[in-house]
Amino acid sequence: MARPGRPAMPKPNLSKWVDSFLDMLTTERGAALNTRHAYWRDLADVSLYLRAQRNKEIETATPDDLKAYLQDLSAKIHTKGSHSNQIAVRTVARRLSALRQFYRYLVSENIRKEDPTTTIDSPKQTRTLPKTLSEAEVDTLISVANGQGGAESIRLVCLLELLYATGLRVSELVGLPTAAIAEGSQFIMVEGKGGRERMVPLSESAQKALSTYMNVRPQFATSDDAGRMSKWLFPSRTSDSGHLTRQRFAQLLKDLARAAKIDEEHVSPHILRHAFATHLLSNGADLRAVQKMLGHADIATTQIYTHILGKKLKKTVEEKHPLATRKA
């Protein structure tokens, strides 16, 4: 299924080795469905190009074939007028990463003797710091959501409080089962990427918002023929999954940002996750603890937030330090 605003990609019959690779991601590496779909989109795009332009199947592609594809991809992105060269670089880098994973799999299965991506250099990327929100802006969002009234408002406040208190990925948040809430509602158990489980504490305000929401949750829930209530913490009667979708939650946040008079480009589930990490670190939290709560496998991923703090501290010194403000 295409994302909103993205045209549906033709559904080609891909190589059996692509299907085998995707199955391996799911069964052996525990990749989430969204991850599998992302790899499928990347490899399908390469496959369509190779068939149309090089008369090749993806498993027989040469380094020259792949270089031609990546050059064509870059040209198409720039032709469409991408507003950021960095977006183009990230797209090419992500596609190349998917190809490397695929060909390493083929080599490990003795389908190919060599990996054709080994001679292809990754495009150079500059470090981009994630957008975030100030603590005052987060407070404003919660306050405005709380003032809208009704069950929808109570649910939105609960979503905001849980996300800001835990830093969950949006897919983890909307896909929480009610069973994930520990007794006493002081913790939630989260199954993250690769099936890794982690326990994340809830703040008092998040616990209170959750308790209030549970009183109105039946208004959103469905039940089966036996009268059993939906297992999802945030059920939905309209989504195929049975729970609130990532897209719907993102739209609710955009609407809330406009109501709160905050730039909606700076409000999304992922930006609230960034705010969680940044605000914790700025208030003295341990980097390892933040890593565990975010569910990062590598602490290097978490360390990007220290760069945000470094930039903030530099600005503070420049504005407040007596030597920095002394006239020459």
- Note if 305 is an active site residue: yes
| 88: its two tokens | 């183009």
Q: Is 193 a catalytic residue?
A: yes
| Alpha carbon distance 176, 158 (integer Å) | 13
Catalytic residue among 246, 273, 274, 279: 273
Tell me the C-alpha distance between 237 and 217, whole Å. Answer: 12
Q: Compute φ and ψ for 245, nearest 5 degrees.
A: -90, 160
Active-site residue (options: 95, 155, 169, 246) = 169
In angstroms, what CA-CA distances link 207 with 159, 165, 299?
11, 10, 28
- Asked about 169 being catalytic, the answer comes back as yes
Of 104, 266, 270, 292, catalytic: 270
* Residues 95 and 70: beta-carbon distance below 8 Å: yes
Active site residue 321: no
Query: Residue 173, exposed/middle/buried by CB under 10 A (0-12, 13-18, 19+)?
Result: buried
Catalytic residue among 193, 208, 248, 266: 193
d(CA 56, CA 71): 17
Q: Identify the active-site residue in 39, 103, 164, 305.
A: 305
**CB-CB contact of 130 with 274 (8 Å):** yes
Active site residues: 169, 193, 270, 273, 296, 305
